[in-house]
Amino acid sequence: DTGVSQDPRHKITKRGQNVTFRCDPISEHNRLYWYRQTLGQGPEFLTYFQNEAQLEKSRLLSDRFSAERPKGSFSTLEIQRTEQGDSAMYLCASSLVTGDGRNEKLFFGSGTQLSVL
């Protein structure tokens, strides 16, 4: 399978625990995005990487959230001291950007559904 893969598909945790999600993008893609989505809403931008560099992080994002892409390939998203409000689908997307990126097209993974009890 050459699509974007995310692991795990589902995660149930207790409030206060730390969780980590993994995303493997399409191999030749240089950009990787993390989004959060709740029921009936569009994806909410969290952060993105160009190769291994984290270029932007949402100003609304708590400092409990951190993401890495150490070798410019897979990425991890960690949430520390989880809260019930963190319950959501966490989506990863990747893209290949050339030039000014005007026609950049995102390919999404199936997401990790997080439930914080």
Partner 1 sequence: GQNIDQPTEMTATEGAIVQINCTYQTSGFNGLFWYQQHAGEAPTFLSYNVLDGLEEKGRFSSFLSRSKGYSYLLLKELQMKDSASYLCAVRDSNYQLIWGAGTKLIIKP
Write b or e for each residue in 79-96: b if 16 or more Cβ atoms lie within 10 A of its Cβ, otherwise e. Answer: beebeeebbbbbbbbbbe
- What is the nearest approach in angstroms of partner 1 to the Cβ of residue 97? 9
Query: Tokens 């993994």 belong to which residue?
Result: 22
Question: Which CB, 50 or 76, lies closer to partner 1?
Answer: 50
* Binding residues for partner 1 (CB under 8 A): 4, 40-45, 56, 91, 100-111, 113
Question: Which CB, 74 or 107, lies closer to partner 1?
Answer: 107
- What is the nearest approach in angstroms of partner 1 to the Cβ of residue 2? 15
Question: Which CB, 63 or 100, lies closer to partner 1?
Answer: 100
Write b or e for each residue in 5-27: b if 16 or more Cβ atoms lie within 10 A of its Cβ, otherwise e. Answer: bbeeeebebeeeeebebebbbbe
- What is the nearest approach in angstroms of partner 1 to the Cβ of residue 16? 27
**What SS3 class is residue 85?**
helix
